[in-house]
Structure 1
Amino acid sequence: MAVPSAHRRLLALALIFVVVGLATSFVGPYFALFLTDSVGAGPLQTTAFLIVAPICGVVIASLVGRLSDRRPIRRQLLILAALAGVVGSALTAVVRDYWVLLALTATVTAFAGSLFPQTFAYARQVLQRTDPGRAAFGISTLRTIFSVAWVGGPPLAALVLAAGGFGYTYALAAAMYAIAAVVVLVGLPRLPVPAAGSVEVEAAEPAAARTTLWLVIAGITAVQTAATLNVQAMPLYVSADLDGTIRSAGLVLGLCAALEIPLMLGFGALGARVPLRRLILAGAVCAVAYQGVAWAATAVWMLAVAQVLQAAVIATVGALSITYVQDLLPGSPGRATTLVSNTFPVSQILSAPMFGLAQHFGFRFAYGIGLVLCLLGLALLVAGVRDRTTAAPEFRVAGRAASAAGS
């Protein structure tokens, strides 16, 4: 059987991001409602579930990421993760016992979560072999496709939910994962791991890179936590502090979602000409500016105008960070992508107690916390960039060699 061309593989990857985006958007926004209404979980049980689920997802995705970089089994892992999504969603469609669902979510469904970072890792390998100079644009495009799926998924899920309940919603998610498994089987061939002693492996984890890596990941996590807190607090902040309505809060959040899509493509194209670290630092500056404006806002229209800044944050720190961290670990795309994708569930865990403080002290306080987090994130990212540029000579030589090999 002929090996699919690079364009066909990228098309297959795009389709996977569409169906995975739809599958996750069908169930993600309504998961707490599912636990309370269909499972009958109380507040404490729901909180425990919402903490255990992302923690297990982070642990399993990290293990899968490391394994995928050591053996040439990324394609097999993609298939297994997609099938895990089928099994997890199909069983969730019919199971209503809290403890069985918790065990299912902590294992099978958590493994299905590795499909997202592993697909990005596969895309990185394809782009690096065909057009390394366009890697940032390619990754941003795929990330944009995922975001577009999330724009259409929740409204469609709401219609299905109203018509047939959660059983049909999860069955539809299982069908999306099944499509993803078929696409991997048909459209994505096996890719080898770089040979031992190659330039990619030699440049993957130099001595000075570990500090750089964790400074960057910590900075991304701080900014992402502020963004998560922003979404959680927005409806209540608009209605309680700015004399707005829930509808106007929804319009503000929708405006941000609409703006981030073209900005992802724009910044992705710009990434071929401007160093990614500069674009990510610019995004962190936008995050500081946004939180400052939101904290000082006195009217809803001010928040609406500021969504340009927040959309720029998502398009840079949220999207380009995937490519940037992959550049820091050129021989470990699975681990690199998993580190970035794990910042999202970690930010959800960290933002929960901060949201509780905002409920006590007022929702404007949430944006004060967000401002501090973004200042911290900017400082960490600046420190990470400096650490990379002042690395040991052998690190800089390895970096140049990797760039030369890519070009």
Structure 2
Amino acid sequence: MTLRVLIPSTALLWGLQFAFLNPALALVLTTLYDASTTELGWALALYNASALIATTLIPAHADRTGRYLRPMLVSAVLTILLSALLALAASLPLAIAALVVLGGPAGVGSTMLFAHLRHSGADSTQIINTRALFSVAWVAGPPIATFLIGAFGERAALLAIALTAVGSFVATALLQSHGARAAPENTSDEEPDPGPLPGRAGVAIIVIGFVLLQAANASAMSFMTVYVTQSLGLDVVWAGIALGVAAGLEVPALFVLGRLSRRFSAQGLIITGCTLGVGYYVLLAMVETPVGLIGIQVLNAWCFATIAGTGLTLFQQIIVRPGLSTSLYMNARRVGAILSGGVIALGSMTAFGQAGIYLVCAALTAGGIVAIVMAHHRSPRTVVG
């Protein structure tokens, strides 16, 4: 199997693996183990904390050894074991222990794939195109997982996760057989000059900026259902349609951004995309009709595509170590998700009510833009190791 086919296949399988897991996890804990809302919250918090630690330590070790595919193989095996334990565990504490011990390290697989691609010589276009396949998986994965749960129960979804992890293991093993430094065929011209690259202080500012961007995105997405039903007075189906349209548009947006990355710098694309994001959040606070809600998802999709795809390549440009760069990007997203609860609480206390949440998201996105501009302004031409 050629790399042209193998890399997209590997990306799609890893994407599906976690697109199945995330919507099923809460239902598994509440249905199979009678977890209360409080217990579910603690379980997910511990799971995310474990993933945060794993996504910090494992890529750092991979950078020292120069081997990024071996951790992916281990992650696939841990996912299989996690699925089995969640299906067979005798109590909630045992299920939570499995999530912490196995689930956190299992989640590092996708991080390692992007680190491997950068290490093997993939350019920004190839990285973004691969990221688009993860979005494809997230469009298809949750509906499939919920269908399996509705038709056959929670254990059917766990079986699907395990089988997908087996596929991920096989695809990763085949990728490893091509050699750790086997690069995919180059499909683009020389990448544009990224301009002055930030030093350590600049990288820290960019990380903070991306935490703000991710906090805004996580807050907007997680509160959408409540906002549509309570503030806009629309049926909940419109929230699902809006999120589905945004997810669907994200895929072609990523492919277009992959082509644009041949001509424009990553920071320029991100600043432009996030400016559209500021407009999206302001319009979302003002929208009143289903047509308006769906129409502005074009802005939402483009903004998130620049953060998810071009943002990843920006981190890989300014930090020379593939594992460190990718883990910092992924962890910025995790920290942003953690902060989203505070964003929702703060925004709802403003004079604008629930619409204030999206105005706070607009302010956070603007803050992220300022951070990226500041980090590149007067930056020395160095990269962080």
TM-score (normalizing by structure 1): 0.85
Report the 3-state secondary structure (helix = DSSP H, G, I; strand = E; otherwise coil) of the residue aligned with 1:74: coil
Q: Aligned runs of 1:9-158 on 2, under 5 Å?
A: 9-128=3-122, 135-158=123-146
Deviations 1:144-188 (A, max 9, x none): 111111111111112211222111211110111111111121232
Number of the residue aligned with 2:289: 299
1:334 to 319, 323, 328: 323
Q: State the AA in 1 paired with 2:92.
A: Y
Bigger drift between 31-40 and 161-170 goes to: 31-40
Cα distance in 1 between the residues matched to 2:127 and 2:198 = 26
Residue identity (%)? 24
Kindly tell me: are residues 242 and 340 of structure 1, through their superposed partners in 2, closer, same or farther at Cα, counting changes over 3 Å? same
Q: In the alignment, residue 41 of structure 2 is paired with which amino acid?
A: T
Measured against aligned partners, the alpha-carbon deviations of 1:260-291 in whole angstroms (never above 9, x if no partner) come to: 11110001110011111100111221121111
SS at match of 2:264: coil
User: Is residue 23–residue 176 contact of structure 1 (8 Å, CA) maintained in 2?
Assistant: yes
4+ long deviations beyond 6 Å: none
1:267-282 pair list within 5 angstroms: 267-282=257-272
Mapping of residues 212-291 of structure 1, within 5 Å: 212-291=202-281
In the aligned structure 1, how far is the partner of 2:197 from the partner of 2:141?
43
Decide which moves more: 33-42 or 115-124. Answer: 33-42
Letter in structure 1 aligned against 2:224: M
Give the partner amino acid of 1:338: S
Do 2:76 and 2:168's aligned partners in 1 also have CA atoms closer than 8 Å?
yes
**Amino acid across the alignment from 1:289:** G
Higher helix share: 1
Q: For residue 141 of structure 1, report the CA deviation from its aligned partner.
A: 1.0
Corresponding residue for 2:193? none
Q: Contact conserved, 1:89 with 1:109, CA < 8 A, in 2?
A: no
Residue number in structure 1 paired with 2:188: none
1:191 lines up with 2:180 in the alignment: yes
Amino acid of the residue matched to residue 355 of structure 2? R
CA distance in structure 1 between the aligned counterparts of 2:247 and 2:334, rounded to whole angstroms: 19
* CA distance in structure 2 between the partners assigned to 1:111 and 1:185 by the alignment: 18
State the alpha-carbon separation in 2 of the partners of residues 149 and 64 from structure 1. Answer: 24
Residues 277, 303 of structure 2: 8 Å contact kept: yes
Q: Is the 8 A contact 2:24 2:157 kept in 1?
A: no
Per the TM alignment, residue 217 of structure 1 is displaced from its structure 2 partner at its CA by: 1.5
How far the C-alpha of 1:244 sits from its partner, in A, is: 1.1
Paired with 1:260 and 1:114, the residues of 2 have a C-alpha distance of 23
Compute the displacement of 1:360 (Å). 6.5
Distance in 1, matches of 2:333 and 2:153, equals 28
Contact conserved, 1:127 with 1:138, CA < 8 A, in 2?
no
Which residue in the other structure is 1:201 paired with?
Answer: none
The correspondence for 2:360, drawn from 349, 366, 369, is: 369
Paired residue type of 1:236: V
Deviations 1:312-335 (A, max 9, x none): 1111112111111101112x1111
Q: Cα distance, 1:86 vs. partner? A: 1.3
Pairwise CA distance, 1:296: 2.0
Q: Aligned partners of 1:310, 1:376: CA distance in 2, in Å? A: 17
Quote the Cα distance in structure 2 between the aligned partners of 1:356 and 1:300.
25
CA RMSD of aligned residues (A): 2.3
Q: Which amino acid aligns with 1:175?
A: L
TM-score normalised to the size of structure 2? 0.90
CA distance in 1 between partners of 2:216 and 2:234 (Å) = 22
**Equivalents in 1 of 2:147, 2:250: separation in Å?**
25
Q: For this pair of structures, how many residues does the alignment match? A: 369
Aligned: 1:167 with 2:158: no
- Structure 2 residues without counterparts, runs of 5 or longer: 183-195
The gaps in structure 1 that reach 5 residues or longer are 129-134, 194-205, 403-407
- 1:344 Cα shift? 2.5
Change over 3 Å in CA distance of 1:264–1:41 after alignment to 2 = same
Q: 1:320 to 1:207 in 2, by over 3 A?
A: closer
Q: 1:200 maps to what in 2?
A: none
What per-residue deviation string (whole Å, max 9, x for no partner) do you get for residues 199-226 of structure 1? Answer: xxxxxxx996211212111111211111
Q: Give distance in 1, aligned partners of 2:197 and 2:237.
A: 51
The yes-or-no answer on 1:311 pairing with 2:301 is: yes
Matched-pair contact (CA < 8 Å) for 1:136–1:269: no
